[in-house]
Amino acid sequence: MNISLAKLKAIILYFSEHTNSNYLGKIKLMKLFYYLDFTHVKRYGTAVTGDTYFHLKNGPIPSNIMNMVSELTSDPETSKLSDDIQISTPSGTRMLKVNGLRKFCKEDEDLFAQSELETLVDVCEKHGEDSTDEIIESSHREAPWNETDFGQVIPYELAAHDPDSNFSEEEIRLLELVSG
């Protein structure tokens, strides 16, 4: 993963402000990260977070980000995210709801390249109102999901197989090498 902690927090804060908070649980958050990274790969050839994605039951999961968010749930006292983000369980649900503890601000915005910020906005516009089930189903229609099996790493270059990709597998691999 090649993203700073500050930028990771900024992404989560942006998602918490620009998506329907009734649906922003841990699972949907992982799908939003998938769409942020893989949409950016399709448009610009590189990922925003650089995290490693795995093919799991509920769709693609960014492993390091998932671990950090899980730590926020299991041990908020020591979590690196706890000063800006919290996880709660609304009464009567099993949902692990993601809550920003502050607003996304200018300092957060300055952490992003223009292409990353545009992609962040687009992902929220496209999937912000999706329920968890809807975004899971949507992720299951993507080539990177369909071309891998349970438990496998989902390589970024598989984004080239979606019809909206501007890059070939080889171009994505080369851009990953140059930027990583």
- Residue 76 forms part of a structural domain: yes
Mean pLDDT of 113-141: 96
Say if 22 falls within a structural domain: yes
**Host domain of residue 66:** 5-173
Is the pLDDT assigned to residue 142 strictly greater than 90? yes
* DSSP-derived secondary structure for 166-180: SS-HHHHHHHHHHH-
Are 27 and 140 within 8 A, CB to CB?
no
Residue 178's pLDDT is 85
Find the mean pLDDT for residues 113-123.
Answer: 97
**Percentage of the chain exceeding pLDDT 70:** 99
The answer to whether position 180 is within a domain reads: no
Percent with pLDDT over 90 in the chain: 80
Both tokens assigned to 59: 């769709």
Q: Are 147 and 165 in contact (CB under 8 A)?
A: no
Over residues 103-109, mean pLDDT: 97
Instruction: Please check whether residue 152 lies inside any domain of the structure.
Output: yes
Better-predicted residue by pLDDT, 125 or 21 = 125
For residue range 2-14, what is the model confidence (pLDDT) as tens digits?
A: 789 999 999 999 9
Calculate the alpha carbon distances from 128 to 156, 160, 161 in Å.
23, 24, 24
Q: Is the pLDDT of residue 51 over 80?
A: yes
Q: How many domains does the chain have?
A: 1
- Statement: residue 23 has pLDDT above 90: no
Least confident range of 49-58, 68-77, 152-161: 68-77
Mean pLDDT, rounded, for 97-105: 92
The answer to the question of residue 39 being in a domain is: yes
Tell whether 57 is covered by a domain: yes
Whether 37 is covered by a domain: the verdict is: yes
- The answer to whether residue 92 scores a pLDDT higher than 90 is no
Is 178 part of any domain?
no
pLDDT band for position 77 (cuts 50, 70, 90): confident
Q: Which two tokens stand for residue 84?
A: 């800006």
